[in-house]
A and B are shown apart, each in its own frame.
Chain A
Amino acid sequence: MTAALLQRGSWLEGLLAAHPTAPENSRRQLQEQGLPQARQEDWRFTDLGPLLALDPAALQPRPGLESPLALFPDGDVVRLHLDDRGIGLQPTVGSAPLPEGLSLEPAQSLLTENALLPARLNGLMSGPCLQLSLAPAARVRLELWLAPAGADALLAPRLLLNLAEGAQLDLAVRLSCRGSSLALPWVEAHLAAGAGLNEAWLLQGDASDVLLGGCSVQQAQGSRYCRSSVVQGWALARQEPQVLQSQGAAHTQLRDLAITTAQAVHDLHSRVRFEGPEGTLDQLQKALVDESGHSIFNGSVQVPQLAQRTDAAQLSRHLLLSERAKVDTKPELEIVADDVRCTHGATVSSLADEELFYLRSRGIDRATGAELLRRGFCAEILRELPPLLAQEVA
């Protein structure tokens, strides 16, 4: 057994020992699966060192901070925050009565089992799952404020969203950690015909924090799923959004931005699968990579034989600002259907000299000009977030 394997094994044992009340099946699954290694293709570029550097015995649930601001400034908004233990979710007082057509209740578990590491780790924690259901044609806005009050925090919020036909949910999430913490958010969403889910995530961590999160979204015909996320800080942040268009003829939009500086490793592994005809995908992944940052993108798009007339576009754009910064980007299109339109592209560039000269020729100094260009690169995705959430991006 190699030293790396031993280190992974003992870290996992340490985590399990620190959480003796974790469900037995979750413990067993995780023990059998173990932590991934670099020889696994999906983890080839992702160094788990920052995770192994966390002391599993020190990681504890911490009470959550209340939101100091309303992400959606007005109207009927449901606000959730971390519960007293800092693991699960509970509604903030003041949101009662709940908007018409909305029910909130604890659930025993998620509806589908997921073998991805973030889902497995999330399942290991004993935090309850919160189920949010929208009745047909209901329209609700939901805010999640996930901010542990201290360092060495462990948070594993789990949310199950059920959107009935024609229901519309706007979800804004702010997750921030304060050092040596492990965040394991997981969302499972089921969108019935004609339902719409807009998700906006702002994920910020300290240079010693680790994020392993993701979502599993199932879309019925005619539904719309739009996800926007911005990740900033962290030692390691890996997100694994998975979307399944179970009947095709639905629309998926993914907008992900990583602001990758210092020694951060930001990893986005997305997977979109079409299991019916005439589905559409519009995906844009961007990363601004500076200092010794490392950005990883793997975008899987699966178009089997029955997914004829799929229209999918995927674009990965990296702005590389330092000679030490690193990018690994990989589109992964598996197309079996023959009557489809699937495009992908990847660009890696530095600040354009001509753009910088143009700004300088208008009296704008080099540093301010470079900052304008950096902000311009990010703006395309930041404007998809609610303005108050976007303002939180440093």
Chain B
Amino acid sequence: MTESVSASPALLEVIDLRACVADQEILCGVSLTVRAGEIHAVMGRNGSGKSTLSKVIAGHPSYTVTAGSICFNGVDVEEMSPEERSRAGLFLGFQYPVEIPGVSNLEFLRVATNARRQAQGLEELDTFSFEDHLQQRLELVQMDPSFLERSLNEGFSGGEKKRNEILQMALLEPVVAILDETDSGLDIDALRIVAEGVNQLAGSSNATLLITHYQRLLDAITPHYVHVMAHGRILRTGGPELAHELERRGYDWVDEEAGVSSRTSAEVSA
């Protein structure tokens, strides 16, 4: 279902995408077009395929694309590794950022930033230049610099991990950012800081895809489009008012109007 009507160029085009993991089909024909300057929100029950969609777009090796295509900036990404997709400007903000003991957060950020800069034809940053480069991004997410000295996400609270994700987004300057339940586990202040960061990074030449369960994130980041996902497909697309309606009425009516039965077993296990 492709509802975008803007004349700006399409940055992400997902066409009839099917994907499976361990022989179980999770995505059953997803279509979505995200254009420059747009913010999209994908909502849906647990297990509807939202997180799988984000991982498949990012190139997670556990998932196999069985049909359809993903075009990023006009290029089919099927043969691209996760790192190639990232360097090209695709960013996935994780729902559960992993903790990696012993890997310095600062070193990780520098290596990642330089990988992206190299792909952009920019000069790599040495340790000192990188710290200057980092400073203003730290202010964006109001992150304590002491977190840079720690191991990557190790011992971080849920809010600190999400701020670290947005910090990475600020450093990598993606063309398309997919934020998978960035609001989960955040207190009110952390949600505000993260949302402000996302709003400041959103511009006319990039796009954002938010995956969320809650209207509260969409109160802080106003999407142009809201999509409802169920059974591995997008069943309905609307404007910001759709999220309000979902908040009031739940998801069953979307299923009924689409003529599908609600809550399949896939929605529990995906």
Chain A residues engaging chain B, CB cutoff 8 angstroms? 352-355, 357-366, 368-369, 372-373, 375-380
Q: Are B100 and A375 in contact (CB under 8 A)?
A: no
B94 interface residue, CB < 8 Å from A? Answer: yes
State which of B111-119, B127-135, B223-231, B259-267 sits at the interface with chain A. B111-119
Closest to A378 in B: B102
> B253: CB under 8 A from chain A?
no
B102 and A380 contacting across the interface, CB-CB below 8 Å: yes
Binding site for A on B (CB under 8 A): 58-62, 81-83, 85-87, 91-92, 94, 97-98, 100-103, 107-108, 111-112, 115-116, 119, 151-152, 168, 172
Contact B100 A358 (CB under 8 A): yes
Given A366-B83, A368-B111, A358 contacting B103 (CB threshold 8 A): no
By CB atoms of chain B within 10 A, which of A362, A363, A364 has the most?
A363
Q: How far is the CA of A380 from the CA of B151 in the complex (A)?
A: 10
Cβ–Cβ contact A364 & B101, under 8 A: no
Q: Are B116 and A363 in contact (CB under 8 A)?
A: yes
Q: Report whether A365 and B100 are in contact in the complex, using a CB–CB cutoff of 8 Å.
A: no
Residue in B100, B112, B116, B119 with the greatest tally of chain A CB atoms within 10 Å: B100
A372–B98 CB distance below 8 A: no
* A362 and B112 contact, Cβ closer than 8 Å, known pairs A353-B61, A353-B62: yes
Instruction: Kindly report which residue of chain A lies nearest to residue B115, judged by CB atoms.
Output: A363
Known: A362-B86, A375-B103, A376-B102. A357 touches B60 (CB 8 A): yes
Q: With A and B bound together, what is the CA distance between A378 and B101 in angstroms?
A: 10
On chain A, the residues within 8 Å of B102 by CB distance are: 375-380
| Residues of chain B lying within 8 A (CB to CB) of residue A355 | 98, 100
Chain B residues within 8 Å of A376, by CB:
100-103, 151-152
Please determine whether A361 and B172 come into contact, CB atoms closer than 8 angstroms.
no
A373 to B108, CA, bound (A): 11
Give A352 to B99 CA distance when docked, in angstroms: 11
Task: Report chain A residues within 8 Å CB of B100.
Answer: 355, 358-359, 372-373, 376
Inter-chain contact A358/B97, CB cutoff 8 Å: yes
Beyond the given pairs A360-B86, A365-B83, 9 more chain A to chain B contacts, judged by CB atoms under 8 angstroms and listed by A's residue number, are: A353-B61, A357-B61, A358-B98, A361-B91, A366-B81, A372-B100, A376-B152, A378-B102, A380-B101
Asked if B58 contacts A362 (CB within 8 A), the reply is no
Are A372 and B81 touching (Cβ within 8 A)?
no
Q: How far is the CA of A146 from the CA of B83 in the complex (A)?
A: 44
Least distance between A384 CB and chain B CB atoms (Å): 12
- Chain A's nearest CB lies how many Å from the CB of B60? 6
Asked if A360 contacts B81 (CB within 8 A), the reply is yes
Contact across chains for A361 and B82 when beta carbons are under 8 A apart:
yes
Residue of B60, B91, B92, B111 touching A364 (CB-CB under 8 A)? B111
A361–B62 Cα distance when bound, in Å, is 14
